[in-house]
Amino acid sequence: MISKHISHLSLGSNLNGRFKNIQKAIQAIHDKIGRVKKISSLYKTPAWGFKGNDFYNCCIEIETVLNPELLMKSLLDIEKQLGRKRRNDQNYENRIIDIDIVLYEEEIIDTPRLSIPHPKSTERKFVLIPLCEISSKLLFPHSKKTALEHLTNCTDKSEVELLPEKINLR
C-alpha cells in the first residue's frame, strides 16, 4: 500500500491576475500532486522584503504520495508552467506565483535544496493567519508550538486583509 502524507503549503502572487494565478496553482497541485483537502481564505498583504505590489496569499493542506524532495520539485515545475522565472540571487522580487512547503507532516529537513519547516514561516503573518484558519492546532516539530501559538507571538506588523474572493476546485 502506498503511504499518503499531509503537507501544508503557502501560496502567493503579486503579478498579473493574482487571484487567477493562485486558483491555477491550486488546481495544478490538485491535478498533479495530490488531493487538496483544505483551502484557506485569500488575504492581501504588502510585499515582504522589497518594494512591490501587494500579494494575495493563502494556505492549503494537501494529501500526497510524494516525498518532500519530489513534492518540492513538482511545485517548482508548477511555478515554471505558470510563468515564474527564478533568478539565481536570493533577493525578493515580484512573482506570478510562489509556492512554499510550510510543513510536511512532522518532518524536519535542512539541506541546501530544501528546508522544512519553512525557515521564515513562523515570522510571517501572511503565512500564519491562513495556516491558522485551516489548522490552528498544527504543531511545528522544531519548536513544539502550534501555528496559533506562533501567530500569537509573531512580531510581524504587516497589515493582512481578508479578501471576499473564494478559491474553488473544478
Count: domains in the chain: 1
Establish if 169 belongs to a structural domain. no
Indicate which residues carry an active-site annotation: 84, 95, 98, 100
Q: What pLDDT, on the 0 to 100 scale, is given for residue 27?
A: 98
- pLDDT, tens digit, 9 for 90 and up, residues 88-110: 656 677 889 999 999 999 999 99
Global pTM reads 0.95
Q: What pLDDT, on the 0 to 100 scale, is given for residue 91?
A: 66
Establish if 45 belongs to a structural domain. yes
- pLDDT, tens digit, 9 for 90 and up, residues 28-64: 999 999 999 999 999 999 997 778 899 999 999 999 9
Establish if 137 belongs to a structural domain. yes
Q: What pLDDT, on the 0 to 100 scale, is given for residue 2?
A: 83
Distance CA 82, CA 76 (A): 10
Domain boundaries, position 76: 5-162
CATH number at residue 24: 3.30.70.560
Please provide the average confidence, as pLDDT, over all residues in the chain: 93
pLDDT band with cut points at 50, 70 and 90 for residue 148: very high
Q: What pLDDT, on the 0 to 100 scale, is given for residue 162?
A: 98
Burial group, residue 165, by CB count within 10 angstroms (0-12, 13-18, 19+): middle
Nearest CA among 118, 108, 137, 116 for reference residue 48: 118
Q: What pLDDT, on the 0 to 100 scale, is given for residue 54?
A: 95
Establish if 9 belongs to a structural domain. yes
Q: Which three cell numbers stand for residue 169?
A: 476546485
Establish if 170 belongs to a structural domain. no
Q: What pLDDT, on the 0 to 100 scale, is given for residue 89?
A: 54
Please, are residues 11 and 97 in contact by the beta-carbon 8 Å criterion?
Answer: yes
Partners of 6 in the β-ladder:
63
Establish if 12 belongs to a structural domain. yes
